[in-house]
Amino acid sequence: MMKQLVNLSHAKWMAILAILISFAVVFSIAASNDPLDLAKTNASSLVPMPKITIPPRATKLVSAESFGIHIHRPKLNEPWPLKGAGSWRLWDVYLGWRDIQPKMGVFVFSKLDSIVAYANKNNIKLVLPLGNTPQWASARPQETCAYGLGCAAEPSNMMFWRLYVRTIANRYAGKIFEYELLNEVNLKPFWSGDMSKLLEMQKIAYEEIKAVNPNNILIGPSMTGNAEAELSKWDAYLASGATQYMDVASYHLYVPKSNPETAYGLTERLFSIMQQNGIANKPLFNTESGWLIKNMQGPEIPTSYSAEWLRLDQDLAMAYVVRAQVLAFTQGIQRYYWYSLDHTNMGLIEPLSFNKKAAGFAYNTLASQLVATQPMGCDLSRLPIWVCTFKMQSGKNKYLVWSTSDAKSNFDFSFIAPLSKRIDFPLGVEEDLRGNTLLIGQVPVILQ
């Protein structure tokens, strides 16, 4: 069996280190014709990796729920649109507090009721973010936020918040089991309060959803960015007492200027912070990540996005969808919520025809190949080729292999022989293997 950790030469360790520290991303809001378009920019500082050797980490079997998705404009009279996705985060579908309770004492449940019924019919697990303060309840009702006025502030009276969470938890008891506190709280457009107010809101939410069902899950507030300043905020918040009022930790692994491998070091840093704060045993979810993906049928990606952001063509988008999720699962992240199915500029489908892009088909194929397998880690000894291993229920392994180089690389797989077939993305076409070498490119190949 291939070992996850190997003894590497100094030159190869330096190559790994260069990959692991070559990223930095923080979010900001930019004007756009589509209200769902949030532009992201890179931070100026880089995170130094605390260590190069990556220890083995126990991971659960990949499940259907491991493959998460965002859908902004769901078609509830049609079949579930992405058969590979088993969970759905209800963000940017306008189901936050401000949408459900637009006025004091007034609740609008019809949209969420319909989505809950649709999800349950299709056996999809929902995550409901609880935030986005309505203007009437906001401590700063005239303050600009990501979705209008007042939504990034804490409530002027915490009882408003308690009653809202209690109402939601009771109404959807037995239907929604997973709640997320707030979105990207290290960014002012989403959270403008101090961390003590955030902790108070988290404690209240935890108490209320557990009172309805002790098995309900509260996912902690997400943050994003890999500048040390942003990671320090996450560390400080966890250290403030937040860990006792969450079942799952959350972080957004956006690296929009770079390839998925640049999030590898960030993920290790997150697990290190969790260990320092005594929650190494709790799950870590990546509740939002994605890249700009070109549309074959239009529209063009607007210039409001940073020119440094990657604009992925069909092949590269297919490669990144697979690689990002494979890396996350092998490192121990239990859920990966892709952003998104139907975003105009980041979607897995064409915005005009609604046809799946190659990346959408690749997403489905990956899920069909990995559900019920055990992530076993990645071999970094052959860079730029990555070899990631998943153990099947039969006890045999399947290997996902790719290169980060623009040029294809010759890969001798005799060290993991005997292998009999390859499976190609996007459609999962199988082909018998001949010989012991393959040309490997940026789109992964499955060998087994």
Which domains, and CATH codes, for the chain?
25-373 (3.20.20.80), 378-447 (2.60.40)
**What would the pLDDT profile of 95-107 be if each residue is shown by its tens digit?**
999 999 999 999 9
Question: What is the reported pTM?
Answer: 0.90
Residues 6+ apart with CB under 8 A from 102: 108, 134, 136
Rg for the chain (alpha carbons), in Å? Answer: 22
Q: What pLDDT score does 59 carry?
A: 74
> Which DSSP state fits 77?
T
- Mapped to the 3 state alphabet, what secondary structure does 2-35 carry? CCCCCCCCHHHHHHHHHHHCCCCCEECCCCCCCC
d(CA 376, CA 387): 11
* DSSP 8-class letter at 248: B
- Residues of the chain with confidence (pLDDT) below 50: 1-55
Supply the DSSP symbol for 324.
H
Contacts of 402 (CB under 8 A, 6+ apart): 319, 322, 323, 385, 386, 440, 441, 442, 443, 444, 445
Tally of helices (H runs) and strands (E runs) in the chain: 9, 23
Query: How far is the first Cα of the chain from the last one, in angstroms, to the nearest whole number?
Result: 13
Q: For 6-164, list the strands marked E by DSSP.
A: 26-27, 40-41, 67-69, 87-89, 125-129, 144-145, 148-149
> What is the crossing angle of helices 263-276 and 10-20, to 10°?
80
User: What is the pLDDT, as a whole number, of residue 300?
Assistant: 96
Indicate the residue type of 64. Answer: A
Contact assessment for residue 167 and residue 97, using Cβ atoms and an 8 Å cutoff: no
pLDDT value at position 58? 64
Cβ neighbours for 144, distance < 8 A, ≥ 6 positions apart: 189
Cβ-based burial of 77 (10 A; exposed 0-12, middle 13-18, buried ≥19): exposed
Whose structure tokens read 């899920």?
367
Bridge partners for 411 per DSSP? 438
Alpha helices in 151-227 (DSSP H): 158-171, 195-212
